[in-house]
Structure 1
């Protein structure tokens, strides 16, 4: 059951980040899920571990702060992917 929740929350995070970064037309559902899951992990690492923001440890969880930091991490990931030319 945990994997199903991870896929659903990852898809939601990836979709929101792709809307913010205007890459939704280039991404399908699989890319949204992958960007959401990897972006949430990146958000947890960047904001909680590196910057020391305590509530960022919930990144990727199905809560308001978890979704917020997950989307921020996914936005950073899409920005980096745009830099290397994966998205235009």
Structure 2
């Protein structure tokens, strides 16, 4: 993986984490928090999409997948915090 791919991966993670933070809590989590939430969300979103037989390609598809996964992650975290 070259440096450009890593930078794009981190930018997608940051954007997805920020979007999920806005949608779930009304704010982001800071740059590092957004990146972590977005990257973990990308794995969750990819897993869920594969279970459902959905394929989202390209940059927009990657952002959508990561954002939906990050929303799922934040939702699960909120359930755990309430328990």
Tell me, in whole angstroms, the C-alpha distance in 2 between the residues paired with 1:45 and 1:77: 12
Tell me, in whole angstroms, the C-alpha distance in 1 between the residues paired with 2:10 and 2:65: 17
Runs of 4+ with deviation above 2 angstroms: none
- 1:2-81 paired onto structure 2 within 5 Å: 2-22=5-25, 24=27, 27-48=29-50, 50-53=51-54, 55-56=55-56, 58=57, 63-81=59-77
Tell me, in whole angstroms, the C-alpha distance in 2 between the residues paired with 1:83 and 1:23: 17
Q: Which runs of 5+ in 2 are unaligned?
A: none
Tell me, in whole angstroms, the C-alpha distance in 2 between the residues paired with 1:47 and 1:4: 24
Tell me, in whole angstroms, the C-alpha distance in 1 between the residues paired with 2:79 and 2:34: 18
Instruction: Work out the number of aligned pairs and report it.
Output: 79
State TM-score, norm by structure 1. Answer: 0.78
Q: 1:29-84: per-residue Cα shift (whole Å, max 9, x none)?
A: 11110000000110001112x1111x24x4xx6x2222112111110001011111
The structure in which a higher percent of residues are helix is: 2
State TM-score, norm by structure 2. Answer: 0.82
Aligned CA-pair RMSD: 1.9
